[in-house]
Amino acid sequence: MSINRAGATLVDVPRGLAGVVVTDTEIGDVRGSEGFYHYRQYSAVELAQTRSFEEVWQLLVHGELPDAERGAAFAAETASLRRLPDEVRAALPAIAAASRVSGPLAGMRTALSLLGAARGFRPVYDIGADRRRADTVAACAAVPTLLTALYRLGQGLEPVEPREDLSYAANYLYMLTGVEPDPLRVRAIEHYLISTIDHGFNASTFTARVIASTGADVAACLVGAVGALSGPLHGGAPSRALDTLDAIGTPDRIDGWIRERVLAGDRIMGFGHAIYRTEDPRSRMLRDLARTFGGPRVDFAIEVERHVEAILAELKPGRELHTNVEFYAGVVMELCGLPREMFTPTFAAGRVVGWSANILEQAEDSKIIRPVARYVGPEPAVRVPAMR
């Protein structure tokens, strides 16, 4: 602790704000030492296994699980918001062309801004709770349509119009592929989407809340969150975990490949987590999902997991390093027919609901988030030197 020149008290905190409590929340919590996390008062994994995406969405933004009647009404409301305003639809080809290299997630930053303008989103500071909630629901409903349209346009394909008779997960797969998906794949993707809706104050969620604390509109908050998610240290690992499986190739190469990387100090993508010191419960659930598909890819992933954990325990004793959500997420999404460039966008299609819940909660607090930095540069000069 120290005092700056203005007389303000500076409190030393860990790098990256690790372990620093910045606010209170009723949305959920991650208990890393227990290998458990929850949304509101419910186990997130149990919700993924027993409830629909729309029901969990309603829990996050309304604070309670719906009964059958209210659940059906909310599902119908969100389905009716999937179609994009004409101004947004007309702009998507240009956005897709401009983001052809960077991908659909980069394009969605622009598309979300346009959607907010076209829908008339206003600063959360200036509107009431009901309008804020309506804006988040409209944005979340449109995200799968934006992502799939940008992907298909980038592939030289026409976008597929959303269907109101399909669930959120089924409609997402339908718009991506143009084919009505089978129930096994729908439920697998729905499991994944629900299990990744929220996960504490991660970088993208915190970014959304910082922007919301300024009173900005919902689209601005979500665009900031997408920007944070795009970083490879946050949302870019599912496809990289599959790249690891591809690089290893065959079971006989596992041990040598992993040892070489660990001894070189390289990170093994899909292993380790900033919070969990036990097995990531999302990874455990997704591994079970992968087993329902079966096949050599799943068997190989399980064998790699077993070898990696054994080698890490040997070479890094005392450290708990297990698979995180990205390792089996990549396997499950591949089994469901998703291209790798859509892995992180699919994560965003679920996490957008968690971001929205956090935006709504933060909007109830009128205090702007405004930390300080300790200046460690050269001492300021008495006057600016004259130009020579």
- Residues belonging to the active site: 273, 326
Buried b (16+ CB within 10 A) or exposed e, 101-119: eebbbbbbbbbbbbbbebb
Give the C-alpha separation, 257 to 279, whole Å. 23
Token readout for 337 is 């027919």
DSSP state of 343: H
Ramachandran assignment for 272, one of left (phi > 0), alpha (psi -120 to 50 degrees), beta (any other): left
Token readout for 189 is 């993707």
DSSP state of 18: T
Please work out, in degrees rounded to the nearest 5, the angle formed at the alpha carbon of residue 234 by the alpha carbons of 262 and 219.
175
Spatial CA neighbour of 236 closest among 348, 85, 118, 318: 348
Spatial CA neighbour of 349 closest among 211, 233, 238: 238
Please work out, in degrees rounded to the nearest 5, the angle formed at the alpha carbon of residue 266 by the alpha carbons of 263 and 237.
145
Spatial CA neighbour of 286 closest among 159, 383, 190: 190
Give the C-alpha separation, 44 to 36, whole Å. 8
At 214 the three-state DSSP class reads coil
The partner residues of 36 in beta bridges, in order of sequence, read 31
Spatial CA neighbour of 300 closest among 260, 246, 258: 246
| Contacts of residue 128, Cβ cutoff 8 Å, sequence gap at least 6 | none
Spatial CA neighbour of 263 closest among 320, 319, 314, 322: 314
Give the C-alpha separation, 292 to 232, whole Å. 29
